[in-house]
Amino acid sequence: MMIIMRSDASQQEISQVVERVEANGLQAHVSTGAERTVIGAIGDGRPVQRDLFTLLPGVDRVVPISRPYKLTSREFKAEDSIFPLNGVQVGGQGIVIIAGPCSVESRSQVLEVAHAVREAGAHALRGGVFKPRTSPYSFQGLGQEGLEYLAEARQQTGLPIVTEVMREEQIPLLTHYVDVLQVGARNMQNFALLHAVGESKHPTLLKRGLSATVEELLMAAEYILSHGNRRVMLCERGIRTFETSTRNTTDINAIPVLKSLTHLPVLLDPSHSTGNWNYVSAIGRAGIAAGADGLIVEVHPHPEQALSDGGQSLKPERFAELVRQTQAIAEAVGRFVYPAANHVKP
Amino acid sequence: MMIIMRSDASQQEISQVVERVEANGLQAHVSTGAERTVIGAIGDGRPVQRDLFTLLPGVDRVVPISRPYKLTSREFKAEDSIFPLNGVQVGGQGIVIIAGPCSVESRSQVLEVAHAVREAGAHALRGGVFKPRTSPYSFQGLGQEGLEYLAEARQQTGLPIVTEVMREEQIPLLTHYVDVLQVGARNMQNFALLHAVGESKHPTLLKRGLSATVEELLMAAEYILSHGNRRVMLCERGIRTFETSTRNTTDINAIPVLKSLTHLPVLLDPSHSTGNWNYVSAIGRAGIAAGADGLIVEVHPHPEQALSDGGQSLKPERFAELVRQTQAIAEAVGRFVYPAANHVKP
Amino acid sequence: MMIIMRSDASQQEISQVVERVEANGLQAHVSTGAERTVIGAIGDGRPVQRDLFTLLPGVDRVVPISRPYKLTSREFKAEDSIFPLNGVQVGGQGIVIIAGPCSVESRSQVLEVAHAVREAGAHALRGGVFKPRTSPYSFQGLGQEGLEYLAEARQQTGLPIVTEVMREEQIPLLTHYVDVLQVGARNMQNFALLHAVGESKHPTLLKRGLSATVEELLMAAEYILSHGNRRVMLCERGIRTFETSTRNTTDINAIPVLKSLTHLPVLLDPSHSTGNWNYVSAIGRAGIAAGADGLIVEVHPHPEQALSDGGQSLKPERFAELVRQTQAIAEAVGRFVYPAANHVKP
Amino acid sequence: MMIIMRSDASQQEISQVVERVEANGLQAHVSTGAERTVIGAIGDGRPVQRDLFTLLPGVDRVVPISRPYKLTSREFKAEDSIFPLNGVQVGGQGIVIIAGPCSVESRSQVLEVAHAVREAGAHALRGGVFKPRTSPYSFQGLGQEGLEYLAEARQQTGLPIVTEVMREEQIPLLTHYVDVLQVGARNMQNFALLHAVGESKHPTLLKRGLSATVEELLMAAEYILSHGNRRVMLCERGIRTFETSTRNTTDINAIPVLKSLTHLPVLLDPSHSTGNWNYVSAIGRAGIAAGADGLIVEVHPHPEQALSDGGQSLKPERFAELVRQTQAIAEAVGRFVYPAANHVKP
């Protein structure tokens, strides 16, 4: 780390910092400029507390040199991480599309959606059975009953299942039924959950928190990886800003930024990142054009009757159109969308 | 709710909305203006899905009338909620100050801080034993061992204990040891945890999430109240904005806004809301001047050796000065800080 | 507008609001729900001050019904506005690309860039001669000398010129030399400038402010339109958020949102919206995929020697590649990029 | 500046950076750590373009060492800058209160307010005659007529006048009539205006932009100071964030941060920073408690009839109460509010 001294720091203050650096087993490199002195604290790569130095007299600020994540970084692993998902590959040249309702509401609903998205070209089925709702008075999900319906949908369509996990205790049950655990935006920094998901070794879709930086998303992924689970997909789903014309602001920049910083696959969820079905297709296309490895999209056969998120759900025919647009954009950027035929019935 | 039609909505589209309103057991009041028609959907107070109407043709937008929280609102309960905390009252005319280290690091550390903050005038001791850390490589807390130290500090000083709960499973253990459960900013929308804390009926300090709106904070409190726990204190601890000169931005406006919207006590955490000890006292004073019912402050005898948050911790002597300043400000706004003598040894 | 009363509002308070509504020449429609009363104030479309009602006793809040902009809205004019720009059309099916250096630095630099971007396929040349710089110690632009160089570049290449106007006094000079006036992000709410640009009737590129909402951008355009200038192009150039991995956050959602709310052409500036040349092409592609009518891109033959914005400038060969990618994306969304041959030498 | 290399940077890339550093007349200090190499570029204090190095191969990022502002910094001038304002001192131990209507609406209105705020204890009168309005259809101010009324108010009450300047051309007229020029939030980065205000040498109140960082506010002040005008007061007036329960978010942290970074006086405008008269007094008190040197408050005798900003204006009797509260808070922090008697009739 680099310790930048105040321009009025005394020689004694500088010496004190150097002593503290060396007392912590680091080497001190002193650079004296026209205005300020900067002291480089050179170590062996182990983390050192910044506050050890921030609080010393004469110190203006401390700038870290190393990035705080390792296993998730491109510097640690240069080539893209690629995970198989029932006949398709997430993170390679092919684009993967996950679709389905926000919540599993009934057997007939989930089967209807599953067949519809399968036919439209989706590669996996999403659907929540445990729902994080901001209001205690809203629908909270079907629980295990919903998992049974998802399993039936999987059997009928061959689509692997993506479902959100909200509590560590749900992991054994969920891993029995579902192919990919989703860690939702509100749990991105639920470290106990990240720890448990890491130990489960189950493929995981990690969504960015509403106000999480790209670096914090990578730190959350680091939690999962550091507990032994390397099959992590990241998902941009919109951040919170001052703009209110859409529910969230799609941080489209995060797509190429993440692709440059990490080897993990990066998906976009245009349903949550806009919160309005009118804009989902445009932003889905934009995500693929910017380099995303896939999309996760909310689809509902009767959005106006949905128990949650109806306003951002596409009807199946609009979703089918989005799949065709995605294919066209994928080709324009030298990639492709896996054909439906790639699916293997389980 | 009010359904605002597009200015080019047809008469048929208007009729369709009216039918949908009535089909859902609501009354429709149609107001036809020079530019637009607005349809009021009047019900009996039960929640209705906005998306039922958002998606209908000709609808511009839907504006809710009711606030989404009830039990936490001043409209539900006009007078301030006041909770006893070992001889002092949180939420009344008296100001309450909670202080202590970010993390319990050792027996000697916590005892030293406890005596120091007791002497300086604090009314409760804070200290984390389970730590939410953004890096999996950082210190994660002492766990039950830390609770034993806190219990000893409580016995020696009479100070009640405030500790963060991170998982539902920790609740039985924590309620055995501590007087107030803290729900941290990163868990403000961990609904499973809110549910469990609600059922515990244990006094709870609920911190605002980094990017949570005031309304979402009140909804999170509603979760706890709706599960039967009325002893909830709210805590502003800074929000995430574009400004980087401090770690967070203290939303000082939230103090009077919350006091007007809810009957629950409102505290301020100037340590996290600034992230820099240099500014803690100024912002703590500002909080009391703005109407906060108390402060929660990080204090460490040797901040430069702290295992976490050293940079935002006050030394005991500076904390004692903040207590004196708080007394002066409290008087200026017609309130008072409880004297240390109010404490009862357990 | 709709006036929402508090749930504890008295009958007298409601009557007082109704009287005030009627005293202002509006009709009052009273809807009484289970919890609250809502009073619709129905007028003839003329603006009414919200604060007339906000401050009355018993009022919870006032919700406007009308949008505050008119001439810029799709409700006012449904079909796309299309403007000719030296042989191409901005706002139609064809995509338009504007490119050039941040600042005009010298005659040789601007001529070199002009020929390079002409050859790569750009349809207009951008280049600043009056520079808004956050530091008074930075390069402030060449002024009229720069305009002469731009005129020479225009004569040699046939490319129309886009240049930023910073002060009303510059308008006569600039309109003599340049084809499109650019109002920069920092001046988006410089209302005196908007007024003057409106009266100039000169084609104008209006950039969104760093923290301007979509609605405020449309209000700024309304200023220009309401003073008689209908040839306004809007430009998303990134907003300020908490994310720091890129200089700004591209609000990609704003592209389809603007296209649905207004008939004016919408461009994207991926150079400013990312602030890093590494991400410019990905975000440029995303903009076209999301429905933008064109791009404005910073290009510099020697970015590392640029006097401003070198870090976000593309070299000519990378820019040529972006033009090719834009063509591919345009085709994927059923549009096209104008061929270079469309240009007419002046 | 410090140039941080990628962890996989080659020796050749490091050498190339060193050469570039030296070719620009700087000294290169190379520090080689376990993971990365950092190259300090040590100069003589003159600004160097960061992009000179950002774009070189192998460079991860470039961290500036010097602050970009000089004249405004505490490092340049340690003691507080204090300016006389008609018998009181801005920036010293005494607190200064500026009050008045958002807009000058009529002779009777401004005289009524002037006498009311004078009596309540204000030290200066604010009132806009040129209004920046987001809508072209809103009241735009009385112009010179308004200045005549302000002059009359000044003569009758002895209160110095603070008025916003929107265009450089207004400066001669305004400096003839008013004691302090106000640069509004929307013009904080109108560099042409800052330049002209600097040359005017007239006392200036510079408001922070809605999305300006503290550093950008100081850079804007630097513009004014660097053109020869040292009498600049800074004003926090709320920033734009995701929170919508108040119009803006008061960045109360900015008060102590600014006081530590600069010698210039720092005021708070609680009217704009909340946008709601209900919260103005609480936030005004908070500002003084946090260390502000004064307040600027909107006062209107009949807020419900105000042509602008009625909803955030205090009635004179509430303002008088705020002055009394300010006195109490000032005493609590060891300061005082100037008595009305300090004013000198002009």
Grade residue D342 by pLDDT with cuts at 50, 70 and 90.
Answer: low
Q: Closest to B241 (Cβ–Cβ): which among C4, C6, C242?
A: C242
Q: Closest to B40 (Cβ–Cβ): which among C6, C7, C38?
A: C38
CB distance from C260 to chain B under 8 Å?
no
Residue A111 has pLDDT above 60, yes or no: yes
**Partner-chain contact D2 A45, CB within 8 Å:** no
Alpha-carbon separation of residue C251 from B193, C141, C297, D282 (angstroms): 34, 29, 16, 35
206-225 in chain D: CB under 8 A from chain B = 211, 213-215
CB distance from A134 to chain B under 8 Å?
yes
Give the per-residue pLDDT at A44: 65
CB distance from C314 to chain D under 8 Å?
no
The pTM score is: 0.92
Give the per-residue pLDDT at D47: 62
Q: How far apart are CA C248 and CA B176, in angstroms?
A: 49
Assigned CATH topology for domain D2-63: Alpha-Beta Plaits (3.30.70)
Q: How far apart are CA B129 and CA A281, in angstroms?
A: 46
Mutate to test the interface with C, among D1, D6, D55, D60 (most CBs of C within 10 A): D55
Q: What is the mean pLDDT of residues A71-98?
A: 93
Residue C272 contacts by C-beta under 8 Å, 6 or more apart in sequence?
Answer: C185, C237, C238, C247, C248, C298, C312
Residue B258's H or E segment, with its range, is helix B254-261
Tens of pLDDT, residue by residue, chain C (346 residues): 888 888 889 999 999 999 988 888 888 888 887 778 888 887 766 666 777 788 788 888 888 877 788 899 998 899 999 999 988 999 999 999 999 999 999 999 999 999 999 999 999 999 999 877 666 776 678 888 999 999 999 999 999 999 999 888 899 999 999 999 999 998 999 888 999 999 999 999 999 999 999 999 999 999 999 999 999 999 999 999 999 999 999 999 999 999 999 999 999 999 999 999 999 999 999 999 999 999 999 999 888 777 777 788 999 999 999 999 999 999 999 999 999 755 555 4
Identify all chain A residues contacting D78, using CB atoms and an 8 Å cutoff: 8
Q: Closest to A216 (Cβ–Cβ): which among B49, B54, B134?
A: B134
Can you name the residues that pair with A4 across neighbouring β-strands?
A38, A61
* Angle, helices B254-261/D277-289, rounded to nearest 10 degrees: 140
Give residue B64's identity as a one-letter amino acid code.
P
Grade residue A245 by pLDDT with cuts at 50, 70 and 90.
Answer: very high
Can you name the residues that pair with D161 across neighbouring β-strands?
D125
Identify all chain D residues contacting B273, using CB atoms and an 8 Å cutoff: 253
What is the percentage of chain D residues whose pLDDT exceeds 90? 67
Give the per-residue pLDDT at D341: 56
Question: Between C191 and D262, whose confidence is greater?
Answer: D262
Grade residue B342 by pLDDT with cuts at 50, 70 and 90.
Answer: low
Q: Closest to D51 (Cβ–Cβ): which among C168, C187, C311?
A: C311
Q: How far apart are CA B147 and CA B157, in angstroms?
A: 15
Q: How many CB atoms lie within 10 A of CB A195?
A: 17
Q: What is the DSSP string of C112-162?
A: HHHHHHHHHT-SEEE-BSS---SSTTS----THHHHHHHHHHHHHH---EE
From the CA of D224, how many Å to the nearest CA of chain C? 9
Residue corresponding to tokens 């940079």: B311
Q: What is the DSSP string of B212-228?
A: --HHHHHHHHHHHHHTT
Give residue B316's identity as a one-letter amino acid code.
P
CATH 3.20.20.70 residue ranges of chain A are: 83-342
**Partner-chain contact D135 C240, CB within 8 Å:** no
Q: Closest to C33 (Cβ–Cβ): which among B38, B43, B78?
A: B43
Count of helix runs (H) and strand runs (E) in chain B: 11, 15
Give the per-residue pLDDT at C211: 92
From the CA of B49, how many Å to the nearest CA of chain A? 8
Grade residue D208 by pLDDT with cuts at 50, 70 and 90.
Answer: very high
Give residue D3's identity as a one-letter amino acid code.
I
**Partner-chain contact A49 B190, CB within 8 Å:** no
**Partner-chain contact B65 C240, CB within 8 Å:** no
Question: Between D133 and B230, whose confidence is greater?
Answer: B230
Please, where are the H alpha helices in A203-253? 214-226
Identify all chain D residues contacting C52, using CB atoms and an 8 Å cutoff: 304-305, 310
Closest chain D CA to residue B272: D253
**Partner-chain contact C249 A246, CB within 8 Å:** no
Q: Which of D45, D83, D81, D80 is nearest to D64 (CA)?
A: D45
From the CA of D206, how many Å to the nearest CA of chain C? 15
Q: What is the mean pLDDT of residues A120-135?
A: 86
Q: How far apart are CA D188 and CA B170, in angstroms?
A: 51
CB distance from C337 to chain A under 8 Å?
no
> How many CA atoms are closer than 13 Å to the CA of B59, on its beta-carbon side?
24
A103-107, C134-138, D319-323 — which one is most confidently predicted on average? D319-323
Alpha-carbon separation of residue C186 from A77, C128, D272 (angstroms): 41, 14, 20
CB distance from C153 to chain A under 8 Å?
no
From the CA of D23, how many Å to the nearest CA of chain B? 33
Identify all chain A residues contacting D215, using CB atoms and an 8 Å cutoff: none
Please, where are the H alpha helices in B82-226? 107-120, 144-157, 170-177, 191-200, 214-226
* Angle, helices D316-332/D107-120, rounded to nearest 10 degrees: 30
**Partner-chain contact D38 A40, CB within 8 Å:** yes
Q: What is the DSSP letter of B53?
A: H
Q: What is the mean pLDDT of residues A77-95?
A: 94
From the CA of A216, how many Å to the nearest CA of chain C? 10
What is the strand order of the sheet A59-63 is part of? Answer: A27-32, A37-42, A2-5, A59-63
Identify all chain C residues contacting D66, using CB atoms and an 8 Å cutoff: none
**Partner-chain contact B166 A226, CB within 8 Å:** no
CB distance from A51 to chain B under 8 Å?
yes
- Residue C210 in tokens: 């760093």
Q: How far apart are CA A33 and CA C312, in angstroms?
A: 28
% helix, strand, coil for chain C, step of 5: 40, 20, 40
CATH number of the domain located at residue range(s) D83-342 in this protein: 3.20.20.70
Q: How far apart are CA C183 and CA C205, in angstroms?
A: 6
From the CA of A98, how many Å to the nearest CA of chain D? 30
Among positive and negative, which fits the CA dihedral C270, C274, C277, C279?
Answer: negative
Q: Which of C60-74, C107-121, D79-93, D313-327 has the lowest mean pLDDT?
A: C60-74
CB distance from D31 to chain A under 8 Å?
yes
Question: ipTM for the complex?
Answer: 0.92
Grade residue A157 by pLDDT with cuts at 50, 70 and 90.
Answer: very high
**Partner-chain contact A51 B189, CB within 8 Å:** no
pLDDT digits (tens, 9 = 90+) for B249-271: 999 999 999 999 999 999 999 99
Identify all chain D residues contacting B254, using CB atoms and an 8 Å cutoff: 243, 245
Identify all chain D residues contacting C139, using CB atoms and an 8 Å cutoff: none
Grade residue D29 by pLDDT with cuts at 50, 70 and 90.
Answer: confident
Mutate to test the interface with D, among B243, B283, B325 (most CBs of D within 10 A): B243
CB distance from D164 to chain C under 8 Å?
no
Task: Measure the N-to-C terminal CA separation of chain A; round to a whole number of Å.
Answer: 52
Q: How far apart are CA D100 and CA D124, in angstroms?
A: 8
Q: CA-based angle A67:A69:A71, to the nearest 5?
A: 130
CB distance from A42 to chain D under 8 Å?
yes
With contact defined as 3+ CB pairs under 8 Å, the chains touching D are A, B, C
Residue D43 has pLDDT above 80, yes or no: no
- Residue C63 in tokens: 């919700």
CB distance from D77 to chain C under 8 Å?
no
Closest chain B CA to residue D270: B253
**Partner-chain contact D250 B255, CB within 8 Å:** no
Residue D309 contacts by C-beta under 8 Å, 6 or more apart in sequence?
Answer: C51, D102, D103, D271, D298, D300
**Partner-chain contact B249 D241, CB within 8 Å:** yes
Q: How far apart are CA A313 and CA A297, in angstroms?
A: 8
The chain-wide mean pLDDT, for chain D, equals 90
CATH 3.30.70.1140 residue ranges of chain B are: 2-63
Mutate to test the interface with A, among D3, D4, D6, D7 (most CBs of A within 10 A): D7
Residue A52 has pLDDT above 80, yes or no: no
Q: How far apart are CA D27 and CA D21, in angstroms?
A: 7
**Partner-chain contact A2 D2, CB within 8 Å:** yes
